Structure 1
């Protein structure tokens, strides 16, 4: 019989924030619980970090949020930027906001666990210079084609997400914002497939480093929200969002997408989700977003 400590364990951290769930899976040989850190940070929001513990192969039940952790943010010179305070359910909050181009280190300690640390930064903003739009048809469906021009920086690797968001007053009297699926049949997208629609386009600047380039995508028309259809003129805004990710965030998101795709198949190889937390599990990673309103 195979010893349990050598089995690959998949476990999940579920954090409910404002009715949203963040699920952090890891595949790893785990024989003792470790600290799990989750923090995606940017230059707009104050520090927010979630701390929990991993499960071992002998544990049963729900994961525990760690509410007695010491969570410290430091700068590149190892100076303390802020000591985060526990809010609730393993969430630690700060009063300061990360800065663009700055590198940060997180250190977390909990009595009875090995301490953990990680380091990442907020990349510079990469701007959308223009967006050209036109209506067309694809497979007998009406679409709005979007040609998104971006200014890619020279001499650095960049990792991108491209998303489309809309806001409008709905027919039931509420104001809603929604992220739309985008067409990712463009080979520049890493998640590209013929006639595929996804909630984001994923790409790097490998083919156009340091150049101005145009990313072609589209959205479906009319826009359907809660079974109601809306035309472009019904929208309050239509916004293209270009997110410049650090390599750590890119690798985490890429491996997590692979994990999700593999988890439903009994024939798929196990996927280990990327972690940059030394001594534990999780992710500490930055990004910077640029928004361009078409409407």
Structure 2
């Protein structure tokens, strides 16, 4: 017998069954794996890595066997071999990596093809190597106090970098502050270790005060309202729309301290060296859009629950990913070079 309490329950059950029947299941046959091809290539380097994976329903999957061909101006110049899988460290990656040793030149038309060993996947990308940026004209550094947030100031190293835009064309750039820190030490507590060298790299920079790097929305403090409305330019990409064909001085900051790890007593240190390579890269519009998407997804601004999904730019045909070839100009600055004979 159905009473007044049973009927609503049956109706709810019926609606639940109907809604389940209307769900669209994930169809693996309709969404087959695609080849993922990624590479950030420096045209002047002979040490560039191409990475291969396959897409998956939840996570990317490994490529077991693959071959790669590199062509310049329609001529086959290299067939890179897969690098050995690293066996050191706690985490072992089976990701396929190929070493590309060809040195490219501005104006070269570069095509890279990747094929899986079973012949099921073939992806390729074609890139024209951009013209290099104009030489960096000047880099001025100074140690200043910066308002991090709520009038809390910290000491930072300020860089003012002056360069000119290449005239008569639309240009896209990326600024990289590549800092190398090195410690030389004699560990007195371990006589068997006569000399120890510790090195580290740091690419972090603060760019919120620069008009170009913030796309016209500079801020002076970490808690300014504008900072919550736009993504931080983590990857330092920009175009020339605000200084086309002109000279521009860009302002960025890095940490002022060495951040040396305290792995041994200070009296064991014999030398400290810190260098900064100020690198200005010329990139393509596709690279520019790709890094802008990375800026958004790596920032605190993006909320996937209320925002549209991020679409990454890709220049890979028959697959997904980005193959970037950049040219650059750079300046090396020695920030610290201190020797300690006695403590």
Q: TM-score, normalised by structure 1?
A: 0.77
Root-mean-square deviation (CA, aligned residues, Å) is: 3.1
Hey, what's the Cα distance between the residues in 2 that align with 1:184 and 1:6?
44
In structure 2, the residue matched to 1:101 is 107
Q: Would the alpha carbon gap of residues 281 and 66 (structure 1) be closer, same or farther in structure 2, given more than 3 Å must change? A: farther
| Equivalent position to 1:64, from 62, 76, 79 | 62
Q: Would the alpha carbon gap of residues 52 and 171 (structure 1) be closer, same or farther in structure 2, given more than 3 Å must change? A: same
Give runs of aligned pairs for residues 128-167 of structure 1, distance below 5 A.
128-139=136-147, 140-167=153-180
Structure 2's unaligned 5+ residue stretches are 1-21, 85-94, 148-152, 186-195, 223-231, 264-270, 335-343
Q: Would the alpha carbon gap of residues 186 and 156 (structure 1) be closer, same or farther in structure 2, given more than 3 Å must change? A: same
Hey, what's the Cα distance between the residues in 2 that align with 1:70 and 1:175?
35
Moved segments of 4+, more than 6 Å: none
Hey, what's the Cα distance between the residues in 1 that align with 2:182 and 2:122?
48
C-alpha deviation, 1:189, in angstroms: 0.8
Q: Would the alpha carbon gap of residues 222 and 274 (structure 1) be closer, same or farther in structure 2, given more than 3 Å must change? A: same
Hey, what's the Cα distance between the residues in 2 that align with 1:179 and 1:225?
15
Q: Are 1:276 and 1:284, in contact at CA under 8 Å, matched by a contact in 2?
A: yes
Q: Alpha-carbon deviations, 1:229-280, whole Å to 9, x = none?
A: xxxx964323322222122222222222323347654323211222111111
Hey, what's the Cα distance between the residues in 1 that align with 2:30 and 2:283?
29
Higher strand content, 1 or 2: 1
C-alpha deviation, 1:109, in angstroms: 2.3
Give the paired residue count. 265
In structure 2, the residue matched to 1:178 is 202
C-alpha deviation, 1:150, in angstroms: 0.9
Hey, what's the Cα distance between the residues in 1 that align with 2:162 and 2:59?
49
C-alpha deviation, 1:101, in angstroms: 2.9
Q: Are 1:46 and 1:97, in contact at CA under 8 Å, matched by a contact in 2?
A: no
Hey, what's the Cα distance between the residues in 1 that align with 2:311 and 2:54?
18
In structure 1, the residue matched to 2:72 is 75
State the secondary structure of the residue aligned to 1:164: strand
C-alpha deviation, 1:223, in angstroms: 4.0
Hey, what's the Cα distance between the residues in 2 that align with 1:179 and 1:227?
21
In structure 2, the residue matched to 1:13 is none
| Equivalent position to 1:286, from 315, 321, 325 | 325
Q: Would the alpha carbon gap of residues 31 and 223 (structure 1) be closer, same or farther in structure 2, given more than 3 Å must change? A: same
State the secondary structure of the residue aligned to 1:257: helix
C-alpha deviation, 1:171, in angstroms: 8.1
Deviates more, 1:237-246 or 1:197-206: 197-206
Q: Alpha-carbon deviations, 1:123-166, whole Å to 9, x = none?
A: 22212111122333222333332210012111222222223233
| Equivalent position to 1:259, from 259, 276, 297 | 297
Hey, what's the Cα distance between the residues in 2 that align with 1:36 and 1:98?
23
| Equivalent position to 1:115, from 122, 128, 131 | 122
